[in-house]
Amino acid sequence: MQYDYLVVGAGFAGSVCAERLSSAGNTVLLIDKRDHIGGNAYDCVDSNGILIHPYGPHIFHTNSQRIFEYLSKFTDWRFYEHRVLAELEGRRYPIPINKTTINTLYNLNLQDDEVEDFYKSRRIAVSEIRTSEDIVLNSVGHDLCEKFFRGYTRKQWGLDLSELSAGVAARIPTRTNDDDRYFTDSFQFMPSEGYSIMFEKMLAHKNIEIRLSTSYEYAKESESYRHTIFTGPIDLFFEYKFGPLPYRSLRFEHEHFPTTEFFQETGTVNFPNDFNYTRITEFKYLTGQQAEGTSIVREFPQSDGDPYYPIPRPDNEATFKKYQELAEQSRNVTFVGRLANYRYYNMDQVVANALSACEKLSGQKG
Ligand code: FAD
Ligand code: UDP
């Protein structure tokens, strides 16, 4: 059969595209080389009955009512505000750094209106902010940078803060009050039955055929279609013509404790300076599941393995731009999502990216 669209990758990017294009009357063949839908946001029940995220913790947050309403067609939600503590020399402090962090770390009793002056007394003014080091030094100064950011970043990326674009550390704000939420977005919810069930509903359309454990390399030879939506790594699509784009990978170590109700006091604990892992997340906080035991995941960053993060720095951006130019000249293919656009996108940004790609395609059936 000739399909209107071949969609490569069944994560947020590919699934939203498949849903939009099929609803507009197109036939869609959706493939993924993995044996499940959902991409990195896939969740499942582990062998102990706990709902876990095999590819690391995924917390949905957005300021976009449009994105929230779009996804609400496929799921109900559970209100959840994520909180993270960072462990330094055995003591735990709120991260993002806030008034409580400063007061407990330095044994002070600052009030909200005094915290800004504290940061001002510590900050190292940087006239042109280019790197992640610039952004951290410019907002909180040397000591807090060393305690909370430099070690974590080195572990996570295998690079120094000064080697990464400002946008990486800029994801973490600095607070003057005692707000200890990781995100302050207006919509912070988890899909009430999990991400995978949300994806199943999104893809339950008669015009969508799903084929798992199927690679693009295989499908492009064996299938007939008019247009490709590609959500895998863009350098792979162009057969590494300009060299490979670096991605950061992770190894996930899952562990279950059968008789422990809660392993730690909050959803995630970060370890900026100790251990080979960056953080431990306990899923029951995220999902609200009640159970006698609990399941956690530790994240060990590594350079080899599945691509999880594009690495934002100028030389990689320059290589990506070459691929992007090629993408713009290529007919009958659209690149959507985190790996295809080499952007450090959150889930909501990927949904926005997919919706706008499909809006552009609408009208040009096939
Ligand atoms: P992916 O989910 O990576 O999907 C791409 C799919 O394409 C994959 O399933 C892959 O198997 C398939 N594919 C690739 N190449 C091929 C090929 N050649 N043939 C066939 N199939 C192929 N975002 C948030 O908003 N909140 C969070 O809390 C959050 N936490 C995260 C934690 C971790 C550890 C990671 C790694 C990411 C996190 N994210 C989070 C980001 C989020 O995972 C992404 O924004 C989103 O899942 C990207 O969707 P995507 O469809 O672009 O890519
Ligand atoms: N970061 C840090 N210390 C922390 C938390 C974050 O240095 O305790 C830096 C680090 O470089 C990290 C980046 O901020 O990669 C973004 O953090 P985020 O929690 O958004 O990472 P993600 O959840 O995407 O892995």
Region for residue 49 given its phi and psi (left: phi exceeds 0; alpha: psi -120 to 50; beta: otherwise): left
Q: How far apart are CA 169 and CA 326, in angstroms?
A: 30
Q: How far apart are CA 337 and CA 232, in angstroms?
A: 8
The bound ligand whose nearest atom lies closest to the alpha carbon of 101 is: 2
Q: What is the pLDDT of residue 363?
A: 59
Q: Is pLDDT of 2 > 70?
A: yes
Ligand 1 lined by 272 (C-beta under 6 Å): no
Q: Indicate the pLDDT class of residue 238, thresholds 50, 70 and 90.
A: very high
- Arithmetic mean of pLDDT over the chain: 97
CA of 346 to the centre of ligand 1 (A): 9
Q: What are the backbone angles phi and psi of residue 180, rounded to the nearest 5°?
A: -110, 20
Residue nearest (by alpha carbon) to ligand 2 atom 20? 171
DSSP output for 73-108: TT--EEE---BEEEEETTEEEEES--HHHHHHHHT-
Residues facing residue 232 across a β-bridge: none
Atom number, ligand 2, closest to the C-alpha of residue 84:
8
Q: What are the backbone angles phi and psi of residue 109, rounded to the nearest 5°?
A: -135, 50
Give 111-121 pLDDT, tens digit per residue: 999 999 999 99
Ligand 1 lined by 347 (C-beta under 6 Å): yes
Region 180-198 average pLDDT: 98
DSSP output for 146-204: IIIIIHHHHHHHSS-GGGSBHHHHTTS---SS---BS---SEEEEETT-HHHHHHHHT-
Give 130-157 pLDDT, tens digit per residue: 999 999 999 999 999 999 999 999 999 9
Give 327-358 pLDDT, tens digit per residue: 999 999 999 999 999 999 999 999 999 999 99
Q: What is the pLDDT of residue 366?
A: 39
Give 212-232 pLDDT, tens digit per residue: 999 999 999 999 999 999 999
Q: What is the pLDDT of residue 365?
A: 42
CA distances (Å), origin 313, targets 232, 237, 347: 20, 21, 21
Ligand 2 lined by 84 (C-beta under 6 Å): no
Place of tokens 């990927």: 350
Ligand 2 lined by 162 (C-beta under 6 Å): no
Q: What is the pLDDT of residue 364?
A: 52
Q: Where in the chain is the domain with CATH 3.40.50.720?
A: 2-37+203-245+311-361
CA of 300 to the centre of ligand 2 (A): 13
For domain 2-37+203-245+311-361, the question of CATH label 3.40.50.2000 is answered with: no
Give 39-88 pLDDT, tens digit per residue: 999 999 999 999 999 999 999 999 999 999 999 999 999 999 999 999 99
DSSP output for 283-321: HHHHH----SSEEEEEEEEESSSS--EE--SHHHHHHHH
Q: Is the bond leading into 96 cis (omega within 30 degrees of zero)? A: yes
